[in-house]
């Protein structure tokens, strides 16, 4: 509670009453939209069993892929922010919070091509996210984005499987995501990584036993 009050007073100081109202309203609207989308089946919950072996799917072109560092934020601001419009504005707000130094426990991978960040994907460990309750050994797939110049190079499936391996090593049990029903790229990429609709029969057929 004191964290929320601290955040609200900082926002009031930095942005004024109107800015604070706008921020609070956009948060409420985002939560309401997520809940409605889930209830209406516009987005569906998928999960992956981290007890199964995971093979890291390589990218189709060699490039630098690594965990997000603080010094990457200006690069993201310059090259990615202009593309984060509509529903993707919520991703921009997460990066803006990181810029302000607000640690919300998110963990992100980025891919860099010709010095520019062209992809990010982000996870969070929290008791609840987007209306979905999570256990301490579960991790939620917050978002992924690939610059149009780098789409189809296998970046989402690479960073997804890479982070799943990391989570396995940390002893996490389950990864959960919500996917918009009209997002074939996310269905394909997460499907290749081993995600499927919640409650489906489990199988390790997508994986290799070599990992
Ligand atoms: C969805 C999105 C993240 C996919 O990124 P990407 O890096 O191009 O994905 P990948 O290259 O890892 O694709 C994985 C698989 O999906 C396929 N795929 C990607 N986009 C596709 C599309 N629009 N339609 C059909 N298949 C698609 C790829 O061909 C690949 O399959 P294959 O290796 O079996 O051929 C990207 O299109 C994007 O940023 N969209 C806007 C933001 C968004 O919707 N984010 C997700 C919500 S948080």
CB atoms within 10 A of CB 16: 11
Residues 31 and 6 in one domain: yes
Identify the band that residue 200 occupies on the pLDDT scale cut at 50, 70 and 90. Answer: low
Per-residue pLDDT tens digits for 120-150: 999 999 998 888 899 999 999 999 999 999 9
> pLDDT averaged over the chain?
89
Give rounded-to-5 percent helix, strand, coil for the chain: 45, 25, 30
Query: Is residue 87 situated within a structural domain?
Result: yes
pTM: 0.85
Q: Are 118 and 76 in contact (CB under 8 A)?
A: no
Angle separating helix axes 155-169 and 184-193, nearest 10 degrees? 40
Per-residue pLDDT tens digits for 148-194: 999 999 999 999 999 999 999 999 999 999 999 999 999 999 999 99
Element (H, E) at 74: helix 73-79
Q: How far apart are CA 8 and CA 140, in angstroms?
A: 25
Residues 95 and 32 in one domain: no
Q: Are 48 and 138 in contact (CB under 8 A)?
A: no
Determine the pLDDT at residue 131. 81
Mean pLDDT across 67-80: 96
Per-residue pLDDT tens digits for 99-109: 988 877 788 99
Q: Are 164 and 54 in contact (CB under 8 A)?
A: yes
Determine the pLDDT at residue 111. 98
Atom of ligand 1 minimally distant from the CA of 160: 12
Q: How far is the CA of 119 from the centre of ligand 1 (A)?
A: 11
- Containing domain of residue 170, as a range? 43-197
Identify the band that residue 210 occupies on the pLDDT scale cut at 50, 70 and 90. Answer: very low
Q: How far apart are CA 6 and CA 45, in angstroms?
A: 33
Element (H, E) at 145: strand 138-146
CA 87 from centre of chain:
13
Query: Is residue 172 situated within a structural domain?
Result: yes
Residues 149 and 54 in one domain: yes
Q: How far apart are CA 137 and CA 144, in angstroms?
A: 21
Residues 17 and 118 in one domain: no
Give the chain's domain count: 2
Residues 191 and 137 in one domain: yes
Residues 23 and 100 in one domain: no
Residues 123 and 157 in one domain: yes
Determine the pLDDT at residue 130. 81
Q: How far is the CA of 18 from the centre of ligand 1 (A)?
A: 37
Residues 68 and 36 in one domain: no
Write out residues with Cβ below 6 Å of ligand 1: 119, 143-146, 151-157, 183-186, 188-189, 192
> What is the rounded (10 degree) CA torsion for 91, 92, 95, 100?
-130
Identify the band that residue 3 occupies on the pLDDT scale cut at 50, 70 and 90. Answer: confident
Q: How far apart are CA 193 and CA 161, in angstroms?
A: 6
Determine the pLDDT at residue 211. 33
Atom 9 of ligand 1, residue of closest alpha carbon: 156
Residues 114 and 31 in one domain: no
Residues 26 and 67 in one domain: no
Query: Is residue 206 situated within a structural domain?
Result: no
CA 184 from centre of chain:
17
Atom of ligand 1 minimally distant from the CA of 153: 11
Query: Is residue 47 situated within a structural domain?
Result: yes
Share of residues in the chain with pLDDT > 70 (%): 94
Residues 127 and 60 in one domain: yes
Query: Which of 55, 59, 149, 152 for a ligand 1 pocket mutation test, highest count of atoms within 8 Å of Cβ?
Result: 152
Determine the pLDDT at residue 201. 60
Residues 90 and 61 in one domain: yes
Q: How far apart are CA 23 and CA 45, in angstroms?
A: 27
Determine the pLDDT at residue 203. 56
């Amino acid at each position: 509670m004191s964290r929320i009050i601290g955040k609200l007073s900082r926002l009031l100081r930095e942005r004024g009453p109107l800015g604070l109202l706008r921020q609070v309203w956009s948060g409420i609207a985002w939560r309401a939209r997520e809940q409605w989308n889930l209830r209406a089946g516009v987005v569906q919950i998928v999960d992956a069993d981290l007890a199964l072996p995971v093979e890291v799917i390589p990218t189709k072109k060699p490039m630098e892929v690594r965990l997000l560092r603080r010094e990457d934020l200006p690069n993201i601001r310059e090259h990615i922010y202009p593309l984060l419009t509509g529903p993707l504005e919520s991703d921009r707000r997460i990066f803006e919070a990181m810029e302000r130094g607000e640690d919300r426990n998110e963990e992100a991978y980025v891919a860099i091509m010709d010095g520019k960040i062209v992809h990010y994907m982000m996870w969070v460990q929290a008791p609840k996210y987007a209306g979905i309750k999570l256990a301490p050994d579960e991790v939620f797939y917050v978002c992924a984005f690939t610059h149009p110049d780098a789409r189809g190079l296998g970046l989402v499936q690479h960073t997804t499987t890479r982070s799943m391996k990391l989570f396995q090593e940390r002893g996490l049990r389950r990864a959960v995501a919500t996917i918009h029903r009209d997002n074939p790229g996310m269905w394909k990429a997460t499907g290749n990584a081993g995600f499927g609709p919640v409650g489906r029969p489990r199988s390790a057929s997508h994986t290799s036993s070599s990992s």
